[in-house]
């Protein structure tokens, strides 16, 4: 198989916002940035809107109305591109959207890059590896955004390479807040309202801190199935004046929220390489986070973030207190974070993507399609 470098055309497959989730944002960002480098990119959207709105309300039917046009579009696009690059995740997303890319690419003799992300990969592999392995073995190469996922893949016998997520430093940047508001600190959480993200722990930590900081504020930016449960917890703890749900925000609104914050909380119980942590560092916001999954691969306790124990509100509250009472520690985390996040800029990451794409063009034999 020979590819012409001057006619390089990437087939990029993934979701687009809305909703403004991590993978959707990365797909949109990568699409625009690659085009900015003069590369032809053909986008295949995995969450394309339904032609008729009523279809969204019919569960079985909506899957059919999405997957059939998706497969038709994917088949047509594969015929005209040089490389297929699919952003993949665990669960049904893998089976419905990534697996067809691999097999269609294999049938048509086109290289397939699996760009896998998601902190639940290990759990998914443990339950379903017999269904995952045949397809995964047909991919040309597996790319993951963190050393953590590289380790997970290795445990299941898959070789992978790391190319990290991209952070937009033009959008996410520090702003002088005029000093930390010790009496009225503003904390933020920018995760969806799902049990795996541990938002309950953040709310309980605020209840503890309210005793010493009665005007403390927590803004929770996200949406999801836990909203009513979390709202009831807020009422139970008497935090109606302290905790606010902003709802799902656009990237621009999220950037403004970071710039208004004193501390960012990441109380998650499962994670890979959360964009929210990168965004907070880029925005000059000190971070209190759990140390699950891939988080220790991107921040270090006491250097670029403070670590709290999973599902332990007291631990999270204590780390928040340290930041509220130690301005020098805050500045250390901010300074180190701003330096650390530079490695995730497009100017750094693009070299890795372009080198990978051109390796298929210039040395196609070195990254051959897998046959077994």
Tokens representing 242 are 């302290």
**Is residue 75 scored above 90 in pLDDT?**
yes
pLDDT in tens, 3-56: 444 568 999 999 998 877 789 999 999 999 999 999 999 999 999 886 656 566
Q: What percent of the chain has pLDDT over 90?
A: 80
Q: What is the pLDDT of residue 52?
A: 57
DSSP 206-219: HHHHTTT-TT-EEE
Tokens representing 24 are 């959707």
Gap between the Cα atoms of 245 and 363, Å rounded: 51
Q: Rounded mean pLDDT of 58-74?
A: 78
Q: What is the pLDDT of residue 189?
A: 98
Gap between the Cα atoms of 71 and 217, Å rounded: 47
Going by C-alpha positions, the residue among 194, 221, 116 that lies closest to residue 160 is 116
Secondary element (H or E) of residue 90: none
Gap between the Cα atoms of 236 and 30, Å rounded: 43
**Domains with residue ranges and CATH for the chain:** 5-166+345-367 (3.40.50.2000), 186-342 (3.40.50.2000)
Strand, coil or helix: what is 317? Answer: helix
> At what angle are helices 275-282 and 251-260 packed, to 10 degrees?
50
Gap between the Cα atoms of 288 and 315, Å rounded: 10
> Mean pLDDT of all residues in the chain?
91
Q: Classify 16 in phi/psi space as left (phi over 0), alpha (psi -120 to 50) or beta.
A: beta
**Is residue 143 scored above 80 in pLDDT?**
yes
Residue 55 CB coordination number (10 Å): 15
Q: What is the pLDDT of residue 364?
A: 60
Task: Determine the length of the chain.
Answer: 372
DSSP 113-151: EEEE--TTHHHHHHHHHHHHHHHHTTSSEEEESSHHHHH
Radius of gyration of the chain (CA): 22
Tokens representing 198 are 């541990």
Q: What is the pLDDT of residue 3?
A: 46
Gap between the Cα atoms of 195 and 122, Å rounded: 18
Secondary element (H or E) of residue 240: none
**Is residue 354 scored above 90 in pLDDT?**
yes
pLDDT band at 347 (very low <50, low <70, confident <90, very high): very high
Residue 275 CB coordination number (10 Å): 23
DSSP for residue 290: E
pLDDT band at 284 (very low <50, low <70, confident <90, very high): very high
Q: What is the pLDDT of residue 54?
A: 59
Gap between the Cα atoms of 209 and 202, Å rounded: 11
Gap between the Cα atoms of 109 and 78, Å rounded: 10
CA distances from residue 40 to 27, 36, 183, 210, 263 in whole angstroms, order as listed: 15, 9, 53, 54, 41
pLDDT in tens, 110-123: 999 999 988 889 99
């Amino acid at each position: 198989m020979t590819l012409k470098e001057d006619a390089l055309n990437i087939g990029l497959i993934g979701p687009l916002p809305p909703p403004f989730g991590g993978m959707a944002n990365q797909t949109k960002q990568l699409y625009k940035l690659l085009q900015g480098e003069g590369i032809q990119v053909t986008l295949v959207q995995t969450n394309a809107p339904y032609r008729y709105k009523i279809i969204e309300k019919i569960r079985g039917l909506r899957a059919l109305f999405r997957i059939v046009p998706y497969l038709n579009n994917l088949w047509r696009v594969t015929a005209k591109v040089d490389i297929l690059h699919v952003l993949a995740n665990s669960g049904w997303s893998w089976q419905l959207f990534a697996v067809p890319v691999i097999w269609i690419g294999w049938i048509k003799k086109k290289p397939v890059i699996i760009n896998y992300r998601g902190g639940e990969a290990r759990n998914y592999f443990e339950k379903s590896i017999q269904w995952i392995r045949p397809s995964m073995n047909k991919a040309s190469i597996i790319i993951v955004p963190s050393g953590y996922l590289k380790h997970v893949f290795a445990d299941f016998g898959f070789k992978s390479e790391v190319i990290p997520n991209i952070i937009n430093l033009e959008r996410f940047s520090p702003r002088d807040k005029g000093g930390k508001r010790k009496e009225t600190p503003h904390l933020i959480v920018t995760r969806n309202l799902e049990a795996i993200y541990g938002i309950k722990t953040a709310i309980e930590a605020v209840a503890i801190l309210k005793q010493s900081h009665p005007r403390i504020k927590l803004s929770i930016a996200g949406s999801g199935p836990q909203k009513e449960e979390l709202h009831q917890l807020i009422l139970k703890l008497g935090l109606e004046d302290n905790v606010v749900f902003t709802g799902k925000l656009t990237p621009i609104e999220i950037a403004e929220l970071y710039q208004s914050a004193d501390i960012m909380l990441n109380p998650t119980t499962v994670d890979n390489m959360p964009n929210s942590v990168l965004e907070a560092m880029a925005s000059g916001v000190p971070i209190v986070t759990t140390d699950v999954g891939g988080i220790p691969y991107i921040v270090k306790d006491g250097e670029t973030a403070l670590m709290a124990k999973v599902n332990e509100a007291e631990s999270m509250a204590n780390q928040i207190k340290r930041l509220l009472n130690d301005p020098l520690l805050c500045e250390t985390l901010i300074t180190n974070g701003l330096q650390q996040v530079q490695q995730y800029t497009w100017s750094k990451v693009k070299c890795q993507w372009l080198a990978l794409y051109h390796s298929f063009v210039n040395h196609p034999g070195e990254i051959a399609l897998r046959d077994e």
